[in-house]
Structure 1
Amino acid sequence: MTNPQATTGPRPREQRRADTLAMLRSPARDAWVSTASAADDGTAEPYLVPLSLAWIDDRVVLALEATSRTGRNLLAAGTARLALGGTRDVVMIDTDLERSVRVADAPAEIAEGYAAQADWDPRPGGEHDVYLVLRPRRVQAWREVDELAGRLLMRDGEWV
């Protein structure tokens, strides 16, 4: 089966950015979140999990237990890579941890914004739950091979 989007040709950069922002703002959006930790021998141990996200004030917000493997990795290393969409409409986001906020202490804009977009509310959860606010550093988006050349939409935290 062919992809119907493939016949329309590559999207202009402005359209890719608009499509990416629409994906980030859509309700009940999930992402694959990749982090890594150091093994005893110093090698990286990658870890990948699906998590719900919210797009609040040009930041990705995740909610999870700070003591989970992803939480520990992100809090220690301060970086994560996120993947959204399918293989024929993918958005890759390299992020830096901007701040961590205990769910119980979160300002309303984060708590209510996350609950509204992510379609679940972590506030009734455990005492170790946190919101991790991630600043996008690099964003890439493409559908087919004809969009690979122009896939870079953000570099060093600035839209290009």
Structure 2
Amino acid sequence: MEFWQNTIGPYGNRLEDLDSATLTGLALHVIKGTVPLFEPPFEEFFPAEYATLIASAVPVRGHSFAHRPIDDALARNFLAGYDALPEVPVRPAVGPFMMALVRLFEAAEGSVSAYDTLAILWSCYEAVLMSQLSGRIAEDDEKANPCCRRAIALQEEAVLGRLRAGSAPPS
């Protein structure tokens, strides 16, 4: 957890300079990029109902988020689907990943803030971390894990890319 706090956390204040659309794109990019980091693969990692809901709201294979805003209907449908999910056994990492999505779709109905975006990025990293390591985890343990390193690299690259581009809309 310290790995994320020390690497991604410091960008929080700078994210406040970005508009909601840019922050939404950042969050979606990280969510999509997090999916391949789960082991076993997405289709096996999530229970079927969860995987179907995620795939209906966030294209997890072969689509770009660059030009796809989150409309109110998509947000409402995801949140209703989430509320209707059956209580089934899930891996511990499923909870944080689902919370990232819930946070995104709840915020999308209004305006995604820098605070929302950081919470989403944190939840994505926490999901990867929980899928890889357990027990007392030191920063060195996180840094030694390839999936944790890829998650941090994904997030840092995405954040820096959005910060360099500013709040200009995607072309």
Query: What is the TM-score with the length of structure 2 in the denominator?
Result: 0.25
Larger of the two Rg values belongs to structure: 1
Structure with greater helix share of residues: 2
Structure with more contact order per residue of length (Cα contacts < 8 Å, sep ≥ 6): 2
Query: What is the TM-score with the length of structure 1 in the denominator?
Result: 0.26
